[in-house]
Homo-oligomer: A and B are copies of this chain.
Amino acid sequence: MSKEVGTEDFLRTIGALNDETRLRILRFIDLYGPVCVCDIEAAFGMIQSRISRHLKILKEAKFLTVERRGHWAYYAIRLPLDKFRLDVLKEISYLEMNLPEFKGCCKI
C-alpha cells in the first residue's frame, strides 16, 4: 500500500479482512499455494457461491490473483505483495484458527 491515495482502497483492504471465513481462506491459500475453487469448497464444506464471493472480495482487495486453466480457476496470493499486506499475512499466520486439511479435489 503506502502509495495509495484515498481511504477507499484502504477500507476495501480492511473490509476484506473483516470476516472470519475470508481470514481462513486467505491463510489456506497462503499455505497451500494455488488452489482451485472446488479445493476450497471441499476443504471448508461450504457451498460454491459462498466461496466464490469471498474469493472475489479478497481478489478485489488485492490479496489474491486468479489464473484460469481449462475448467478451473486457480487462486493464489498475489505477487509481489506490498509491505502492509505482507504484515497482515504474517499477522494472520500467528492466529490460532482451525483450518481444514487440503486435499486436491480436481482431477487434472
Q: Which residues of A contact B (CB under 8 A)?
A: 1-7, 10-11, 14-15, 17-18, 20, 23, 84, 87, 91-92, 94-97
Q: Is the CB of A11 within 8 A of B1?
A: no
Please list 21 pairs of residues, one from A and one from B, whose beta carbons are closer than 8 Å in the complex, sorted by A's number. Answer: A2-B91, A3-B94, A4-B94, A4-B95, A5-B95, A5-B96, A6-B95, A6-B97, A7-B20, A7-B23, A7-B95, A7-B96, A7-B97, A10-B23, A10-B91, A11-B18, A14-B14, A14-B17, A15-B18, A84-B87, A87-B87
> How long is the Cα–Cα vector from A4 to B1 in the complex, in angstroms?
24
Please tell me if the beta carbons of B20 and A94 are within 8 angstroms of each other in the complex.
no
Q: What 8 A-B pairs are tightest by C-beta distance, nearest first?
A: A18-B18, A14-B17, A5-B96, A7-B95, A14-B18, A87-B87, A7-B97, A84-B91
